Structure 1
Amino acid sequence: MKEIPVRELTQVVKELCMESNYNLREDVLLALKDSLEIESSKIGRAIIEQIIKNAEIARLEELPICQDCGVVNVLLEIGQDVFFVGGSIKEAVNEGVRKGYSEGFLRKSMVDDPCFDRKNTGDNSPAMILMSMVPGDSVKVIVMPKGGGSENVGVIKMLLPGDGPKGVKKTVLEAVKNANASSCPPIVVGVGIGGTFDSVGLLAKKALLRNINERNKDERYANLEISLLEEINNLGIGPGGLGGKVTALSVNIETRPCHMACLPVAVNFGCCALRSAEKVL
C-alpha cells in the first residue's frame, strides 16, 4: 500500500490550476495554427491569429489565457493500492484551488448559492470533484477549468432508441447552431452518448480531455466524429461567430452502455481556450 500525504495533492492541484490557466493545450494550439491553412475568411484568419498570439503571450508572461478562469473540474483516478493520509481528499483539493487561484492571480467565479444570494466564495472553491478507482499505486490528477460561456450553451437530451445516429447528429448540430458565437469558436465539441441523465453530461465533458487528434477507437463513432466536424464547419459560423470555414477544430465522442429504452445525448463545448493539465502522483 502506497501512502500519499494529502498536502502533496494540495500542491499538485495548486500548480495545475495555474498551469492550465496560463498554457493553452498543445494539441489545441497546433490545431489553431493548422486551421490558418483552411480558413479563407480574412476576418476569420485575423481572429485565429489573435487567439494564437494571445496564447503565446499568456504562456510567456504567465497570465490567464482568458479573463474567465472558470469553475475547476478535478478528476482523480486513484489507484486501488493508494492510501491518502493527513486529512480529507476533498478539503485537500479545495485548498489547492484556493491557493492556485490566489497565488496565481486568477479570477474567482464561484458563488455559494446558485439561485438566491449568489455571493462569491472569494477563492473559487469548491471544485467539482470526480473520483474513480483504478488499478495500481498511483494517482492521476486532472484539472480542467471551465468558463461560463462554453458551459451555458451545453445541451442534454434524452432521445429515444429509434432516433439512432441521425437523432444524435441532429442534437449536436442544433446545439452548435444555437450556441453560435456564444461558445467562442473555433470550438472543440465534446459529445456524450449513453449512460443516464446524470452521467451523460460528464461523459461529454470528459470527451474534451481527449487529444483532439485522436479519433474514437470504435470506427463507427470515429466516422460520426468526422462527419459531424465536416457538417459543423459547413454551417459557416466561423471564428468568433463572424463567418468562415473553421467553426470547430474537433468533435470528440465518448460512449457508455445505457438502458434499452433510452438514448441519452449530451453536448459540452470547449471554447478556443480549451484548458486542462494533469500530473501523476
Structure 2
Amino acid sequence: MTDPEGEHDRAELERLRAEVRDLRARALTHPLIAQAQGIVQERYALRDADSAFALMRRASQHRNVRMRTLAEALVTLPRPDERAPLWFPRRTLTAEPALTFPAARDTGTGSPGAVLRAVLSQTLAVVDTPMGNVQLVDRARGGLRMERHAGLTEDFVDFFAHVGVEGTSCAQAARDIAQVTVRDVASDPVFTESAREAILAAGSRACHSVPLTTAGGLCVGMVSAHFDRRVEGMTAAQLKALEEVGAQTGRWLAWHDRTVLLGALEYLHLLGRGSGRR
C-alpha cells in the first residue's frame, strides 16, 4: 500500500535539498563573477557593472567558455597593458592534442564538459565501478572543485563540491601528484572524520584518485573512482591505463586554457578597448 503523504514529504525534502545546493553554488560563484565585473569595469573605464558583465558574456559566448571559468581567469591572471591591442602578444597557437582512450573517441571532444565526461567514463570502465567524480583545480580559492560525477548521492556531491588541500585522498593525490588508493575508507587516516562519514554515507568503502597532469607535471585536476567494497589495490595494468588517461586529459585541459580560454580573454580585451572612455 502506497503512502501518498509520505511520498509527498520525501519529494518536498528532496526539493528543499536541491534548492539549498543551488543557493550554496550561487553563493560560491557570485562573489567571483562580481569581482571579475569590477576588474573589467575599472580596467576599461566602463560606465557600470552591467556594461562589464555584458562584455564578459559576449567573450564567454564567443569562445564557448563558461562564465565562471572566464571570471576565474580575470581574477587570477596578470592584467594586460590597456593600451596594447593584444593581451597576450607572445601567445602561440597549437593543435588540439588527441585523446586516444576509448571513452573519448565514443563521446567526442571539443569542450571541457565532453572531455571530463569521457575521462570519468574511461576511469570507471578501467576499474569496473559505477561511482566516481572529476574535479578541477580551483585557481581562485585553491583546492579542488567538483565538475562531474556519477553514481554518487546528492549529499556526497554537496559535501565535496569544493575540497581544500588536506583531509581527503584526492587532496593527497593532488599534493603528491601521484595516484592514491584508499583500500578501506573506514580506517584510512587520510580523511577528516566529517569527510569519512560523508563518503561512507554515500555507500563508498574504498576509492582511487588519479591526477590530471600537464606535460610539465602540473596537476590541473583529479578523477576519482569509488567502490562499494574494500579493495586490495589496482593492478599494474590498471595503474598504467589510468596514468595515461590522466596525462592525456591534463594535456588537453592545459591546451584549452592556453588556446580557447586565452582567446576569450583576448576577445574581451578587444571589446573593452573599444567600449571604454579612454
Q: Same fold (TM over 0.5)?
A: no
TM-score by length of 1: 0.26
Larger helix fraction of residues? 2
Structure with more relative contact order (C-alpha pairs < 8 Å, separation 6 or more): 1
- Report the structure, 1 or 2, having the larger strand content: 1
Work out which of the two has the higher radius of gyration on C-alpha atoms and give 1 or 2. Answer: 2
What is the TM-score when the length of structure 2 is the normalising length? 0.26
